[in-house]
């Protein structure tokens, strides 16, 4: 068994967190990941508090193990959602797409462990000063909303910058990525794309199939014009969106209209023409849909062998 | 000591290759890296065969250990340079910026080991079929000319795709990066930026200072409009170039003119206004100019400790 301070901090068996993917990370997926010994997350995305409360209660029925909520800080309902996690007794909150500082005092007072997703050392330090229990250092090879720094460059730098535990995210889909993250100084990992192609994930079958068929060069980053880059699979839609962004004849309004609801269309309807299938660069490493428990067990069995076997390269000691 | 098949393949002590950085990777740097037990490389860049022959002969005077030449395949002098490495008895060639297939037969016949730098699994497979001895899988966090895939995502995928040894590059500046690369399946590493800030590197002091002072978010990728992205440090110049690229009012000719000779100005003159200071995302991890020998020894001492210590996370076995 691989045990790190993240296991103790969160009361989980394996040091793995499931990514808080909008429209994807629901009670079913979170419950499955928590039942398998990781930390499942429900994504609050832009939903209101009522929806989130329903999901939290559903997850409680699915598992008696710890799970968390990912709060998307740009949500129009962020204030009510931030209160709801306190009122519902959620124990772990991860945050993305903004600064959680204004909510930290109340969350910490409620005993919530806060784990912000960070794209740089400066933000990691700010989060540590604000009372975060750990940070997720997420590299730009991840799916969905991404930063510039990659996992290989970001994780060691964040580890040098803060004293709280660092969880690595971005580009990790198997035990090799987990073992590499540990070598970089992380004591846990967050995986998103790998869990989309799990039995318990409720996305449309077309979404899973697209991940299983992806090649290494099949992701693209759109949204740079607005300063909110998003990594997704290359499709006719995402290529069009990409071209439009770099075409100054296309207005911001047209561009926003084109992108609106595209993730929802991918997740719920598997719409190949208008859907945005968010995924990380590791999509091509995922060949089979599996139950969450099997995914986690296989990843950590592989990581364990690699960590035990690293000494094989060292001669004469 | 860390020993891998790359050490045997290339006759070197440490499984590390110095990046073939244009204007930077000269005989002095290559000689120092080879003397320290790595594989030094001379960059042919766009120079003619006469210049390269001079550098190769100079390197021979500096070291009796193996060194190689990096051949930039878009060079106007590529044909004569490709012949010169044969005539000069060079034992190892790495290649970048194109396909070396047309030269492979002659190089292999001359007993040269060819190690192409690859950005994807498809190109890695093609190189293996063409007779490459190994490949460098270089992630987009590297400095200079870069691909899309990051080290964390690219290296394991290339390892799955080919049977020849894989050398990881991009985002590696210390022992953590080396140990992580090994966990991903690589059996060697290539470092560029770390060697720019070495005593033996002949770049202008301003260039070294800029690397030593860089923060994590201080690199930027320009050149996307032409499909030849280049990662360099953020400076007034590179920010301007970046803005111009996304401004459709700026013609390709204007853009090319602005970029022309910018790396040379950075390397030779430390020109802060017109120079392009190429560097990878790991620049911020480099805090001190050191002799090449010390750099390599420290990196592998750290990697060795990490590889020996990886088992500490595994409990109950």
Give me A313's structure tokens: 């390269």
What is residue A248's predicted lDDT score, i.e. its pLDDT?
76
| Averaged pLDDT, B193-206 | 98
Other CB atoms closer than 10 Å to residue B105's CB: what's the count? Answer: 11
Q: What percent of chain A has pLDDT over 90?
A: 90
Asked whether residue A97 carries a pLDDT value surpassing 90, the answer given is no
CB environment B34-68: b (16+ within 10 A), e (fewer): bbbbbbbbbbbbebebebbbebbeebeebbebbbb
- Alpha helices (H) in chain A, listed in sequence order: 5-10, 27-35, 49-62, 78-87, 101-109, 121-129, 151-161, 175-183, 193-196, 205-213, 236-245, 252-259, 262-269, 292-309
How confident is the prediction for chain B on average, in pLDDT?
96
Question: pLDDT tens digit string along A114-172?
Answer: 999 999 999 999 999 999 999 999 999 999 999 999 999 999 999 999 999 999 999 99
Q: What percent of chain B has pLDDT over 90?
A: 90
Residue among A141, A180, A226, A304 with most chain B CBs within 10 A, to mutate: A180
Nearest to B152 among A2, A141, A314 (CB): A141
Q: Which residues contact B51 (CB under 8 A, 6 or more apart)?
A: none
**Is B183 close to A281, i.e. CB distance below 8 A?**
no
Nearest to B204 by CA among B277, B289, B270: B270
- No. of H helices and E strands in chain B? 14, 11
How confident is the prediction for chain A on average, in pLDDT?
96
CA distance A15 to chain B (A): 11
Nearest to B170 among A120, A152, A285 (CB): A152
Nearest to B310 among A157, A170, A183 (CB): A183
Q: Worst-scoring range by mean pLDDT, A161-170, B201-210, B223-232, B286-295?
A: B223-232
B140 touches A: beta carbon within 8 Å: yes
**Is B307 close to A284, i.e. CB distance below 8 A?**
no
Q: What percent of chain B has pLDDT over 70?
A: 100
Q: Which residues contact B209 (CB under 8 A, 6 or more apart)?
A: none
CA distance A166 to chain B (A): 14
What is residue B246's predicted lDDT score, i.e. its pLDDT?
78
Question: pLDDT tens digit string along B217-249?
Answer: 999 999 888 888 999 999 999 999 998 887 778
| A281: closest chain B residue by CA | B153
Question: pLDDT tens digit string along B147-195?
Answer: 999 999 999 999 999 999 999 999 999 999 999 999 999 999 999 999 9
Q: Worst-scoring range by mean pLDDT, A65-69, A246-250, B12-16, B78-82?
A: A246-250
Asked whether residue A317 carries a pLDDT value surpassing 80, the answer given is no
The length of chain B is 317
**Is B141 close to A152, i.e. CB distance below 8 A?**
yes
Residues of B within 8 A of A179 (CB-CB) are 183, 310
CA distance B270 to chain A (A): 25
**Is B139 close to A152, i.e. CB distance below 8 A?**
yes
| Averaged pLDDT, A111-116 | 98
Q: Worst-scoring range by mean pLDDT, A198-212, A227-241, A248-262, B78-92?
A: A248-262
Asked whether residue A83 carries a pLDDT value surpassing 90, the answer given is yes
| Averaged pLDDT, A296-310 | 97
What is residue B178's predicted lDDT score, i.e. its pLDDT?
98
pLDDT band at A98 (very low <50, low <70, confident <90, very high): confident
| Averaged pLDDT, B188-216 | 98
Give the pTM: 0.96
What is residue A143's predicted lDDT score, i.e. its pLDDT?
97
A302 touches B: beta carbon within 8 Å: no
pLDDT band at B202 (very low <50, low <70, confident <90, very high): very high
- No. of H helices and E strands in chain A? 14, 11
Asked whether residue A176 carries a pLDDT value surpassing 80, the answer given is yes
**Is A281 close to B176, i.e. CB distance below 8 A?**
no
- ipTM of this complex prediction, to 2 decimal places: 0.96
What is residue B228's predicted lDDT score, i.e. its pLDDT?
87
Nearest to A285 among B139, B156, B182 (CB): B156
Residues of B within 8 A of A153 (CB-CB) are 141, 171, 216, 280-282, 285
State the Cα–Cα distance between residues A128 and A136, nearest whole angstrom. 12
Going by their DSSP bridges, the two strands A230-233 and B166-169 should be labelled as: unpaired
State the Cα–Cα distance between residues B309 and A311, nearest whole angstrom. 8
Residue among B5, B123, B153, B214 with most chain A CBs within 10 A, to mutate: B153
Residue among A153, A160, A232 with most chain B CBs within 10 A, to mutate: A153
What is residue A43's predicted lDDT score, i.e. its pLDDT?
98
Element (DSSP H or E) covering residue A71: strand A67-72
Exposure on the CB side of residue B105, measured as CA atoms within 13 A? 1
Question: pLDDT tens digit string along B20-61?
Answer: 999 999 999 999 999 999 999 999 999 999 999 999 999 999
What is residue B224's predicted lDDT score, i.e. its pLDDT?
83
Asked whether residue B261 carries a pLDDT value surpassing 80, the answer given is yes
Residue among A7, A152, A158, A221 with most chain B CBs within 10 A, to mutate: A152
What is residue A306's predicted lDDT score, i.e. its pLDDT?
97
Nearest to B194 by CA among B98, B130, B90, B287: B287
Other CB atoms closer than 10 Å to residue B32's CB: what's the count? Answer: 25
pLDDT band at B126 (very low <50, low <70, confident <90, very high): very high
**Is B215 close to A148, i.e. CB distance below 8 A?**
no
What is residue A252's predicted lDDT score, i.e. its pLDDT?
86
Nearest to B310 among A151, A182, A216 (CB): A182
Nearest to A315 among B3, B185, B315 (CB): B3
What is residue B27's predicted lDDT score, i.e. its pLDDT?
98
């Amino acid at each position: 068994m691989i045990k790190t301070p993240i296991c103790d901090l969160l009361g989980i068996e394996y040091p793995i967190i499931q990514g808080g993917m909008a429209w994807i990370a629901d009670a079913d997926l979170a419950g499955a990941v928590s039942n398998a010994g990781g930390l499942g997350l429900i994504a609050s995305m832009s939903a209101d508090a009522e929806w989130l409360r329903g999901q939290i209660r559903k997850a409680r029925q699915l598992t008696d193990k710890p799970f968390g909520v990912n709060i998307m800080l740009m949500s129009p309902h962020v204030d009510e959602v931030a209160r709801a996690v306190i009122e519902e007794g959620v124990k772990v909150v991860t945050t993305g797409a903004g600064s959680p500082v204004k909510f930290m005092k109340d969350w910490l007072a409620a005993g919530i462990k806060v784990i912000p997703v960070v794209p740089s050392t400066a933000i990691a330090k700010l989060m540590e000063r604000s009372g975060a229990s750990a940070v997720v250092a997420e590299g730009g090879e991840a799916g969905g909303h991404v930063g510039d720094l990659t996992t290989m460059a970001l994780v060691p730098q964040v580890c040098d910058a803060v004293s709280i535990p660092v969880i690595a995210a971005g580009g990790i889909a198997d035990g090799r990525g987990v073992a590499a993250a540990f070598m970089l100084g992380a004591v846990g990992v967050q995986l998103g794309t790998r869990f989309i192609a799990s039995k318990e994930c409720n996305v449309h079958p077309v979404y899973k199939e697209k991940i299983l068929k992806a090649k290494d060069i099949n992701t693209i980053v759109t949204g740079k014009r607005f300063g909110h880059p998003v990594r997704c699979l290359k499709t006719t839609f995402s290529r069009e969106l990409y071209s439009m962004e770099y075409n100054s004849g296309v207005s911001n309004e047209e561009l926003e209209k084109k992108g609106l609801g595209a993730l929802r269309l991918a997740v719920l309807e598997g719409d190949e023409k208008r859907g945005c299938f968010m995924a990380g660069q590791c999509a091509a490493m995922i060949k089979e849909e599996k139950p969450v428990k099997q995914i986690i067990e296989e990843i950590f069995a592989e990581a364990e062998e690699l960590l035990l076997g690293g000494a094989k390269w060292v001669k004469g000691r």
